[in-house]
Chains A and B, each alone.
Chain A
């Protein structure tokens, strides 16, 4: 880090402006809520100068809503600066490289965290007027008052963790060195473990956090072990250097192969690939909905950045099949099938969404696997990576959007059973219609963006396998035997999507067909409501029309900047 600081000049600062903003946000979050009217007397005089830290806090800094406002502003600023300086490119020190690719992901991360931060106002409400319980209060009132006070106290902790998660993720997307990549990944992961456990008011929160932490740290240890093997083999962990050594390698060096394999385990856990996904549904179901949404979108995107860097930059052979092709294909198919089957049998909407997120990881892994089949030229590989990145971008809208809706239910103490969704159509037609859009988009129904991204992934895989399968074969069966195995990845995605329709539609059906337990409309929460509606509208606009095309162009040029380097 010393090199980064000593190199800091305005140009570099502009390159990492979003990250600097987040850092500033974190510092502000620590300092600002402590500002008070404390003064210091200059010794031997009667002059008191304001000291600011300590004393009685000012009304504004004492406001428990402040941390949320700081986090939201910081993330919004980070999002806007990322968008503004999208095409800036350059090195920061020798561990970080900023290009459109990393900026694109910074956008994804800050957008996801921004939405989560908006939802937290409902999920973890700050109550400026909270008072301590009196002796005369009944237990119920006293409990409510204590809870309100606790919520107020937790504001800073929660939002500071959101910002460190964002900082870790954004830096990770720029890392060109495996060690740096891992450190940033851990910064984000450790913060997210605590965020998962933050849901303390019921039993599952702590359990989920603990489980997620234990599995996560074991997997990280495995990853670090793999990285140390790579270090042993190459002598440094710079990714371009590793790629050069990998290319020059004669045959398969066991040290390198095992090292990469172990790192795949660590990243596989981050994206929620089978069989490392077992902690995922527990973590999502235990965490509060906004946090679960962040795990399902930003955290998954982070895992995919790491995977793309490791697979496509470091270990992609110049020709022929990559050694991980078969393994990754099998993992992909198992992941999507397992996720969908488990989601079918699940009765908790959060678990359904968690398993659906596992299934989506499977689709993206299948697309990535196809790049390693040895049949893909650079254009097709770029198409596939574009599809995956596009999917990760739009996933923020419709996956996180669905979690935001659940967080509205959670605010009234529900959202853990399918019954809680009953009759949403009658209670709140707009929110129910948005959920309908999200579910259809997750299932991949045209013209929503979920379809566009899935179509592009399938398209990439099919283009890879194009030309295989004899045209002269007279029956479908003989054609099927002749076609390249890569094609079956596409077929698996299609079949799984058809399977997944059932549980997505189930959620839609209970919303419109079952009668609700209460006719009371949902909480108003205007900012969250706006966010949900914006997500639903963008889900449609990014699926068809000029906006989808400009987003595709944006992602396409981001991927070009990555593939070209």
Chain B
């Protein structure tokens, strides 16, 4: 792991430290005597921010090669870097603490580590801060756990663990209808992951015990060994069945039509930081799990179900965009545009080409910085204008120039303006799609154009146009008062996101290289063989 022994096992550290710190910050004030408890509550926000920044620093250093000196573009296919020495959790049934990263997971790890301090910054003035910020730390640990775990048991535990902080964020800091939204969110995603668990268990029962693992049960949860095991589930019908079970879990999280209905409700009710993490990272868990488990372990079934993927992707893309146009609520609109973009990820994977898969990976990352920007904008909008209805105001550029600027940039990036991060992903996916499926590409391409036109029109009216050159039209909820512009912390958070959007639009190669390297290795090593076995052609 390189010359520096500063941190032996950075991935375990960045996963476990925020979990532990979050728990300590929540529990300690209840145990301590009163005076020191008060002080702890006051500084709890700063401590949380410090931990989050430290983790962001560690991951950035990992990326730049200053820690561990890793060459991210040259990871052997199927191999992982930064692996730890597996720690036995329940050796009798083959559960170990085993972490690692590759080009599929690392952009997500970095994204999570960066987004947490930003979302903390945006909601710097949150109520009940002594609970809010530690909860975000717990969220960070759980999310990172999903991306670093190489043991399906641990993966599943973290997958479920992400539900609890998000559920509490919506329930305790949400809008008027938060109970309904929190319950719907919990029931949808929990039920779906039960299907996923059954799929994982069937996989588990097909593994063969390896040295030191599964002494009692004869099976293990080790993902690397599962991938390496030739023909994990020999029976074709059962394998397809398992693949579909996993898909239910992942597609609900992404979310894909028809199991997407929890998303708009959850987003509208969630606090700003919750929405940012939900859209930025939690949705990506679905795509990540799909690539990491379904596609990697069962490439044959994936090829078999390519038509289903295209169908789900197309429907999500077109339906999401269409419904998005009918929304008057800003957050709901962003939520549906997320559904639409997640459809593109399915399409990218369905191309079965390195370019398409790399595009899907980049889409996961790009959407992970653009949608938090949009939700931060929506949150600030709610905060300063006390409404989310788009039609109720015109010409906000006059009152809140910073807000208007961020909003404009966010929407431009979201609809795929060249030189912004979203464009790279969209164009890569569309080109790959055209190469594989020819003129079928017209449907997604035209949808993107039509929605772009619609957004431009409505943004133009909301932001710039005004009948009265002095004031524009302000919503009734302000009761005639003049709205204020962004606070410093909101602006700082959004500026960071905006800078990243531009940076990764101009220089996508920062992550694109490792992604395309991973994708071509993936297609060559995993997919080609399966394609030939099935004599697959589009």
A residues near B, CB below 8 A?
383, 386, 445-447, 452, 455-456, 458-459, 462-463, 469-479, 494, 498, 501, 505, 509, 512-513, 544-546, 548-549, 552-553, 556
Contacts and interface: CB of A to CB of B under 8 A. Distances in A.
Contacts of A479: 235, 237-238
B93 A456 contact: yes
A394 to B, nearest CB: 13
Interface stretch (B119-127, B216-224, B426-434, B466-474): B216-224
B217 A459 contact: yes
B215 to A, nearest CB: 9
B194 A459 contact: no
A447 B235 CA distance: 29
B205 A545 contact: no
A444 B227 CA distance: 26
Nearest to A512: B171
Nearest to A474: B236
Closest 7 interchain pairs by CB?
A476-B237, A471-B234, A475-B237, A459-B217, A462-B205, A447-B157, A476-B241
B197 A446 contact: yes
A473 B236 CA distance: 7
Contacts of B237: 473-479
Interface stretch (B83-91, B393-401, B453-461): B83-91
B156 interface: yes
7 contacts: A446-B197, A452-B90, A455-B201, A479-B237, A479-B238, A494-B198, A556-B92
Given A479-B237, A494-B198, 17 more contacts: A386-B216, A445-B160, A446-B153, A446-B197, A447-B153, A459-B217, A462-B205, A463-B218, A473-B237, A474-B237, A475-B236, A475-B237, A476-B237, A479-B238, A501-B191, A549-B91, A556-B216
A422 to B, nearest CB: 13
B144 to A, nearest CB: 17
B183 interface: yes
A363 to B, nearest CB: 15
A553 B197 CA distance: 26
A478 B89 CA distance: 38
A445 B90 CA distance: 16
B194 A544 contact: no
A interface majority secondary structure: helix
A552 B171 CA distance: 38
A22 B162 CA distance: 47
Interface in B154-178: 156-157, 160, 171
Given A476-B241, A477-B237, A549-B90, A456 B216 contact: yes
A471 B235 contact: yes
A470 to B, nearest CB: 8
B26 to A, nearest CB: 11
Given A456-B217, A458-B201, A459-B219, A549 B235 contact: no
B179 interface: yes
A505 B238 contact: no
B165 to A, nearest CB: 13
Contacts of B197: 446
Contacts of B191: 501
Contacts of A505: 187, 190
B363 interface: no
A544 B90 contact: yes
Contacts of B234: 471
A64 to B, nearest CB: 34
B168 to A, nearest CB: 9
Contacts of A455: 93, 201, 217
B179 A513 contact: yes
A230 to B, nearest CB: 35
Contacts of B198: 494, 498
B92 A549 contact: yes
A101 B328 CA distance: 67
B93 A476 contact: no
A456 B91 CA distance: 13
A427 to B, nearest CB: 16
| Interface core residue of B191, B238, B241 (most chain A CB under 10 Å) | B238
B93 A509 contact: no
Given A456-B93, A474-B237, A479-B235, A383 B171 contact: no
A447 B153 CA distance: 8
A452 B179 CA distance: 32
A528 B198 CA distance: 36
B201 A509 contact: no
Contacts of A509: 183
A478 B201 CA distance: 21
Nearest to A469: B235
Contacts of A474: 236-237
Given A469-B235, A509-B183, A446 B205 contact: no
Contacts of B345: none
A512 B187 CA distance: 14
B240 interface: yes
